[in-house]
C-alpha cells in the first residue's frame, strides 16, 4: 500500500550499508548502525532548504503577530471575515503557513517507512524490498553488545511478530530511550527560546508544552515498542536537528545584524558631518522652515556683529579725534609760550627784528592778541 515510501527508504539504507559494509564488513552491526544514521542525514539534508524557509516564515509570523492580534479582536464575532483578513495579511508579508510545517510533515513518512522496513528484517525472508535473502540474514544476526539491533522490548504485534516482552533488550533499549527523550526536549527547548513573547497565544503555549514535555515523555513510554535500529534513527534525527538549528539560527542572526549595520551606515551617510556646510536646495525643492529660521537667526547675528564693529570703529575714531585735538591744543599752547618768550626777547634788545618769528614759521599769522598793548594802559 505504501510501497512508494518503503522502496525509496530501503534503497537509501541499502546504498549506505554497501558503503560501510565495504569498510567494516557487511555482517558487522556498525555497518548497519552507520547505514541507519546516514539514511537519517540524507533525508534531513534533502529537507534542509525547506527547514530554512520554515525558520524564516516563523520569524515573519512573529514580526507581524501584533497585527494578527488586532484582527482577532476586530473580527472576534465574524470568523469568516477574520480568516479572509488573515490570508490577506499573510500574502502581504509573503508567509505560507503550510511551508512552516512542511519539514515536519515530510519526516513522518520517512519514520513510518523506516519502521516498516526494519521490522520486515525477519529470519527466513527471501527479500525485503531492495535487500536480498543474504542481506536479510546479515541484519537479523547483527548484534550490538550481544543484542540484535532488530529486537525491541515488545514488538506489539507489528509485521506479524509476537507481542511478548523481551527484557533482555532493556539494558540497551532503556538508555537509548532516555537519551532520545532528552534530545527531543533540548530540540524543542532551543526552538521555543527563539519565539517572540509578543506573539504568544494560547495555542502557542499549548504547542510549547506538547513539544517540551509530552513528546519526550512519549518517547520514554512508546520507545519500548521501537526496535533498536529505530531508536538509533530517533537519536540521529534529534542530533541533526540540534546542529541544524544552531547553524541556521546563527546565520539568520548574523544577517539581521548586518542589515541593522547597513541601515545605520545609510543614516550616518545621509546626516551632515560636523562642520560641513548645508547643501544648496535643488531647483524646485521647498526650503525647510527650520533651516530657514536658523539661517535668519544667523544673519541677524552677523548683522549685529557688523553693526557692533562699526560702532566700535566710530568710537575709536572719536577717541582718535579727541586725542588729535588735544595734541593740537598742546602744540598751540607750546607755540604761544614760545612766541611770548620770543617777543619778550625782542623787547629786551634783539637787533634782528622778527628773526625768531621767521624761523618758527615765517608766513604764519600771528595770534590776534600777540604784540598789542592792553587797553587802558595810560592813566588820565
Give per-residue pLDDT as tens, 233-290. 999 999 999 999 889 888 888 888 888 888 888 887 877 767 666 666 666 666 555 5
pLDDT in tens, 313-340: 434 444 344 444 444 344 443 344 344 4
Assess if residue 369 is contained within a domain. no
Q: Looking at the DSSP assignment, which residues form a beta bridge with residue 148? A: 143
226 closest CA partner among 177, 159, 171, 165 = 177
Residue 164 lies in a domain: yes
Helices 48-63 and 228-270: angle between axes, nearest 10 degrees = 50
Total domains in the fold of the chain: 1
Decide if 113 contacts 2 (C-beta within 8 A): yes
Helix 228-270 / helix 170-192 crossing angle, nearest 10 deg: 20
Of the candidates 197, 201, 144, the one whose C-alpha atom is nearest the C-alpha of residue 172 is 144
Rounded mean pLDDT for each run of 10 residues along the chain, 380 residues in total? 88 95 92 95 90 80 74 79 80 70 80 89 88 92 90 76 82 93 90 72 79 90 90 92 89 86 82 67 60 49 44 42 41 40 40 48 50 46
pTM for the model: 0.65
**Is 268 domain-assigned?**
no
Q: Is residue 42 in some structural domain?
A: yes
Residue 275 covered by a domain: no
Cell of 77: 464575532
Q: Which domain holds residue 213?
A: 3-259
Amino acid at each position: 500500500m505504501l510501497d512508494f515510501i518503503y522502496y525509496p527508504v530501503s534503497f537509501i539504507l541499502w546504498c549506505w550499508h554497501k558503503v560501510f559494509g565495504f569498510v567494516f564488513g557487511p555482517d558487522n552491526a556498525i555497518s548497519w548502525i552507520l547505514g541507519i544514521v546516514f539514511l537519517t542525514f540524507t533525508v534531513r539534508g534533502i529537507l534542509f532548504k525547506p527547514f530554512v524557509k520554515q525558520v524564516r516564515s516563523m520569524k515573519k509570523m512573529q514580526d507581524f503577530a501584533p497585527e494578527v492580534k488586532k484582527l482577532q479582536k476586530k473580527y472576534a464575532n465574524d470568523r469568516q471575515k477574520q480568516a479572509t483578513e488573515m490570508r490577506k495579511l499573510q500574502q502581504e508579508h509573503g508567509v505560507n503557513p503550510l511551508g512552516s510545517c512542511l519539514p515536519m510533515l515530510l519526516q513522518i513518512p520517512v519514520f513510518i517507512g523506516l519502521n516498516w522496513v526494519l521490522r520486515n528484517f525477519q529470519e527466513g525472508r527471501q527479500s525485503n524490498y531492495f535487500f536480498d535473502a543474504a542481506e536479510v540474514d546479515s541484519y537479523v544476526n547483527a548484534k550490538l553488545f550481544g543484542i540484535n539491533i532488530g529486537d525491541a522490548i515488545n514488538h506489539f504485534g507489528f509485521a506479524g511478530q509476537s507481542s511478548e516482552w523481551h527484557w533482555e533488550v532493556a539494558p540497551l533499549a532503556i538508555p537509548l530511550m532516555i537519551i532520545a527523550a532528552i534530545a527531543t526536549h533540548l530540540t524543542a527547548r532551543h526552538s521555543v527560546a527563539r519565539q517572540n513573547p509578543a506573539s504568544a497565544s494560547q495555542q502557542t503555549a499549548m504547542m510549547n508544552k506538547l513539544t517540551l514535555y509530552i513528546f519526550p515523555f512519549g518517547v520514554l513510554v512508546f520507545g519500548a515498542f521501537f526496535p533498536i535500529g529505530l531508536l538509533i534513527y530517533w537519536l540521529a534525527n534529534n542530533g541533526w536537528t540540534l546542529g541544524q538549528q544552531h547553524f541556521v539560527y546563527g546565520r539568520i542572526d548574523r544577517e539581521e545584524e548586518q542589515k541593522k549595520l547597513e541601515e545605520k551606515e545609510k543614516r550616518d551617510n545621509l546626516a551632515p558631518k560636523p562642520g560641513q556646510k548645508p547643501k544648496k536646495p535643488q531647483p524646485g525643492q521647498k526650503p525647510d522652515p527650520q533651516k530657514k529660521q536658523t539661517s535668519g537667526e544667523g544673519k541677524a547675528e552677523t548683522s549685529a556683529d557688523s553693526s557692533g564693529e562699526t560702532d566700535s570703529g566710530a568710537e575709536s575714531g572719536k577717541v582718535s579725534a579727541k586725542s588729535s585735538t588735544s595734541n593740537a591744543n598742546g602744540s598751540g599752547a607750546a607755540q604761544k609760550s614760545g612766541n611770548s618768550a620770543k617777543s619778550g626777547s625782542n623787547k629786551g634788545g634783539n637787533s634782528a627784528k622778527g628773526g625768531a618769528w621767521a624761523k618758527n614759521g615765517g608766513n604764519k599769522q600771528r595770534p590776534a592778541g600777540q604784540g598789542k598793548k592792553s587797553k587802558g594802559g595810560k592813566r588820565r
